């Protein structure tokens, strides 16, 4: 005799209803709102909520509101610990690189710099100096400014006080007030640029990548040489960079805007 569980699996309809109720309970405190969100009969919602509480996927109750239970939190923790930005983003980055024929980077923010975790080269003969594992200043890089734009102003001030705003080229922003003005523009446009600020002759347009909490933890950049994209012309690629970054954000579980 084998040890396989041969009990009948729940129907797709039942599974879908359970997920609908679970999502609604985590989003709304009141039973009536959960019912409205799930779009199911009150009796069905009540029964499913009871099961989720009994199985410890939800805590709380109708009077005080529902919350994630210990089993759901443990499951979420295991899921989050298995997330690998390189694995999640690579297919989207490959597609983007083929579409725009530019070098694509994805970087992760540390407490003081951006570190490249993905680089995909264009089919063109030139190569960027960047490499996976290399750290670059946040204030002079497109990806860094995409992250800084999500920070509170006093956090940006603290970073500048701690590590400074070192000059990388003649175009690097080294004045704190000027940096804040630039970050205001980034927030307004939804993307950032590096127009020779980090490396002479190199330009990029960058977009923010949000993690499961909604915080901008990563950045994506589309990079090329200034000879190919003079002035601000690299900005014509901003919409496609934003779209790719938003796709990666969704894959990471970022809340919908």
Residues contacting residue 195 through CB under 8 Å, at least 6 positions apart = 171, 203, 226, 232, 234
Mean per-residue pLDDT, 164-170: 95
Residues 194 and 88 placed together within one structural domain of the fold: yes
Answer yes or no: are the C-beta atoms of 185 and 199 closer than 8 Å.
no
Answer yes or no: is 7 within a domain: no
Confidence of residue 126 (pLDDT cuts 50, 70, 90): low
Q: What is the CATH number of the domain that holds 232?
A: 3.30.450.40
Q: Please say if the pLDDT value at position 199 is more than 60.
A: yes
Q: Given this model, what pLDDT does residue 6 score?
A: 43
Q: Given this model, what pLDDT does residue 77 score?
A: 63
Q: Given this model, what pLDDT does residue 257 score?
A: 65
% residues pLDDT > 70 (the chain): 90
Q: How far is CA 97 from the centre of its chain?
A: 19
Q: Please say if the pLDDT value at position 74 is more than 80.
A: no
Q: Given this model, what pLDDT does residue 85 score?
A: 81
Q: What is the CATH number of the domain that holds 23?
A: 1.10.10.10
Residues 88 and 184 placed together within one structural domain of the fold: yes
What single string gives the DSSP state of each residue in 152-204?
A: -HHHHHHHHHHH----SSTT----HHHHHHHHHHHHHHT-EEEESSSSTTEEE
Mean per-residue pLDDT, 119-134: 77
**Of 256, 186, 249, 187, which is closest to residue 220 (Cα–Cα)?**
249
What Cα–Cα distance (Å) separates residue 36 from each residue in 24, 41, 52, 109?
A: 9, 9, 18, 40
* Structural domain count of the chain: 2
Residues 62 and 99 placed together within one structural domain of the fold: no
Residues 110 and 163 placed together within one structural domain of the fold: yes
Residues 162 and 51 placed together within one structural domain of the fold: no
Mean per-residue pLDDT, 124-144: 83
Last residue of a domain, one of 33, 60, 78: 78
Using a cut of 0.85, tell me whether the model's pTM lies above it.
Answer: no
Tokens of 60: 């709380």
Answer yes or no: is 203 within a domain: yes
**Which phi and psi angles does 202 have, rounded to 5°?**
-115, 135
Last residue of a domain, one of 40, 60, 78: 78
pLDDT digits (tens, 9 = 90+) for 208-224: 999 888 999 999 999 99
Confidence of residue 80 (pLDDT cuts 50, 70, 90): low
Residues 55 and 111 placed together within one structural domain of the fold: no
Q: Exposure pattern of 118-134 as b/e (b: 16+ CB <10 Å)? A: bbbebeeeeebebeeee
Answer yes or no: is 135 within a domain: yes
Residues 142 and 247 placed together within one structural domain of the fold: yes
Q: Output 145 or 13, whichever has higher pLDDT.
A: 145
Q: Given this model, what pLDDT does residue 177 score?
A: 96
Answer yes or no: is 257 within a domain: no
Answer yes or no: is 4 within a domain: no
Answer yes or no: is 136 within a domain: yes
Residues 89 and 124 placed together within one structural domain of the fold: yes
Q: Please say if the pLDDT value at position 28 is more than 90.
A: no
Phi-psi region of 141 (alpha: psi -120 to 50; beta: other; left: phi over 0): beta
Mean pLDDT for the chain?
86
Residues 74 and 166 placed together within one structural domain of the fold: no
Residues 135 and 192 placed together within one structural domain of the fold: yes
**Which phi and psi angles does 91 have, rounded to 5°?**
-60, -40
Last residue of a domain, one of 25, 49, 78: 78
Residues 105 and 137 placed together within one structural domain of the fold: yes
Q: Given this model, what pLDDT does residue 26 score?
A: 83
Q: Please say if the pLDDT value at position 143 is more than 90.
A: yes
Domain boundaries, position 206 = 83-251
Q: Given this model, what pLDDT does residue 230 score?
A: 92
Tokens of 225: 């040489």
Q: Please say if the pLDDT value at position 193 is more than 70.
A: yes
Answer yes or no: is 2 within a domain: no
Residues 71 and 89 placed together within one structural domain of the fold: no
Tokens of 57: 């996927």
What Cα–Cα distance (Å) separates residue 152 from each residue in 176, 187, 246?
A: 14, 12, 21
The region of weakest confidence among 47-51, 66-70, 97-101, 153-157 is 66-70
Q: Given this model, what pLDDT does residue 4 score?
A: 43
């Amino acid at each position: 005799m084998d040890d396989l569980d041969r009990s009948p699996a729940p129907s797709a309809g039942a599974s879908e209803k359970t997920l609908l109720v679970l999502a609604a309970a985590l989003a709304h405190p009141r039973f009536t709102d959960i019912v409205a969100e799930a779009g199911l009969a009150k009796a069905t919602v009540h029964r499913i909520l009871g099961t989720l509480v009994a199985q410890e996927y939800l805590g709380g109750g109708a009077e005080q509101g529902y919350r994630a239970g210990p089993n759901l939190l443990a499951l979420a923790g295991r899921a989050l610990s298995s997330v690998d930005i390189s694995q999640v983003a690579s297919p989207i980055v490959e597609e983007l690189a083929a579409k725009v024929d530019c070098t694509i980077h994805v970087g992760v923010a540390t407490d003081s710099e951006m570190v490249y975790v993905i680089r995909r080269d264009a089919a063109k003969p030139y190569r960027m100096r960047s490499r996976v594992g290399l750290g670059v200043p946040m204030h002079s890089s497109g990806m860094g400014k995409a992250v800084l734009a999500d920070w509170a102003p006093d956090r940006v001030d603290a970073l500048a006080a701690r590590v400074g705003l070192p000059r990388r080229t003649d175009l690097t922003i080294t004045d704190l007030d000027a940096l804040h003005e630039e970050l205001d523009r980034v927030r307004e446009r939804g993307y950032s640029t590096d127009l020779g600020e980090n490396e002479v002759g190199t330009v990029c347009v960058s977009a923010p990548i949000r993690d499961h909490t909604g915080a901008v933890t990563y950045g994506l950049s589309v990079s090329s040489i200034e000879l190919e994209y003079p002035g601000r012309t690299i900005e014509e690629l901003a919409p496609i960079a934003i779209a790719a970054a938003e796709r990666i954000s969704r894959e990471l579980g970022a809340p919908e805007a």
